[in-house]
Amino acid sequence: MPDSQTRHFAFIINPNAGQRIWPSLQPQVEEMFAGQAQGHTCEIVLTQYAGQATELAAELARRYGDRLIAVACGGDGTANEVANGITGTAAAMSVLPIGTANDFARAALSRQEPAELLSRLFEPAIRPIDVFRIDSRICLNITSLGFDSKVQRKAETLNVKVRWLGGLIYPLAIILALLGGREYPMHYRLETIDAQGKTGVIESDARFILAAICNGQYYGGGFHPAPQAALDDGRLDLCIVDCLPLRRVLSLIPRYKQGTHLDDPAVHLMSVTGGHIEAPAGQLLLGNYDGEVFEKPTVDFKILPQALRFAFY
């Protein structure tokens, strides 16, 4: 049900994510709160460096407690930073998707248009959702390993050079990433959970093209690795795709985009609550959490059920 508590809305804007949108967003918000704010208050802050949204969200949560709704205005990276500051506090967060991909917003919100979302701002439905910890970071949406992280790295480069391509950046990044190696080895130990809630442990080696640990359903500009994932079910969907020849990769990509890939024999989907993944000795795992690329010899992850209060619209 919509929440009627008088709240403080903090709009944390990443000016690099929504260069064409945020200049008009700020006067819209100011006009709303100058008129029918119903006792609510607000502030608007533009971030100036990577990681600042986490610092701002954490400080605002300390200051306003459960009155706060911190609105991440940007893409998935901005939402991730705000989640890292809000998780585990009494405050809530939401997102205003003005970034390039906005994949988390696809699963979390009923609509994507900023103006439509702002029109419902004072009617949030707040409930807890899961996040997961990956090493020392909170991941809100998806952490992936392998080929798709190679795509993400290419997309970041393209986004700097040809930002005007917008939604075409990811398809172009995929084409460029297909050049070169596409095989990634790993050893994993996973804490599994079945449909009846029975837990177990599996351990194995794999040679894969990509692996995605999913709390949300979408990433990479609308790819759909985990069509059954839910934000509040206390589990993660782990999708692993075996190494494949180029012709098989090309035929699987559109199905992976549409979420119809799960019946392919090269695709393995497991429900997990945590795990440990490591690269062979002397090698690194290429991965990204919510779009932020990393290279590490190992990663450890764990579900944090209902650890984040989220304002749905």
Same domain, yes or no, for 55 and 169? no
Same domain, yes or no, for 284 and 149? yes
pLDDT at 236: 98
Same domain, yes or no, for 107 and 154? no
Q: Of 65, 92, 123, which residue sits at a domain end?
A: 123
Asked if residues 53 and 81 have their Cβ atoms less than 8 Å apart, the reply is: yes
| DSSP-derived 3-state class of residue 146 | strand
- Kindly give the parts of the chain with pLDDT less than 70: 1-4, 18-20, 36, 163, 166-167
- What letter represents residue 128's amino acid? P
Q: Catalytic residue positions?
A: 292
Write out the residue range of the structural domain in which residue 59 sits: 8-123
pLDDT at 56: 98
Q: What is the tens place of the pLDDT at every residue in 256-281?
A: 999 999 999 999 999 999 999 999 99
pLDDT at 204: 96
Q: Is residue 137 part of a domain?
A: no
Q: How far apart are CA 224 and CA 244, in angstroms?
A: 19
Same domain, yes or no, for 51 and 116? yes
pLDDT at 24: 81
Same domain, yes or no, for 105 and 149? no
Enumerate residues 6+ apart whose C-beta is below 8 A from 153: 293
DSSP 221-257: TTB-S-TT--TTSS-EEEEEEE---HHHHHHHHHHHH
Dihedrals phi, psi of 257, to nearest 5 degrees = -65, -40
Could you count the other beta carbons within 10 Å of the beta carbon of residue 114? Answer: 18
- Please report how many Cα atoms fall inside a 13 Å half-sphere around the Cα of residue 256, on the Cβ side: 25
Same domain, yes or no, for 92 and 147? no
Q: Where are the alpha helices (DSSP H) in 120-184?
A: 147-161, 169-177
Same domain, yes or no, for 34 and 179? no
Q: Is residue 50 part of a domain?
A: yes
Q: Of 96, 123, 150, which residue sits at a domain end?
A: 123
- Please report how many Cα atoms fall inside a 13 Å half-sphere around the Cα of residue 251, on the Cβ side: 7
- CATH number reported for the structural domain that contains residue 27 in this entry: 3.40.50.10330
Q: Is residue 313 part of a domain?
A: no
| DSSP-derived 3-state class of residue 119 | helix
Q: Of 79, 95, 123, which residue sits at a domain end?
A: 123
pTM of the model: 0.91
Report the domain count for the chain.
2
pLDDT at 297: 98
Asked if residues 166 and 144 have their Cβ atoms less than 8 Å apart, the reply is: no
Q: Is residue 214 part of a domain?
A: yes
Same domain, yes or no, for 162 and 31? no
| Element containing residue 62 per DSSP (H, E) | helix 52-64
Asked if residues 285 and 299 have their Cβ atoms less than 8 Å apart, the reply is: yes
Cβ burial 160-197 (10 Å sphere, 16+ → b, else e):
eeeeeeeeebbeebbeebeeeebebebebebbbbeeee
Same domain, yes or no, for 186 and 249? yes
Strand pairing of 236-242 and 199-214? antiparallel
pLDDT at 70: 98
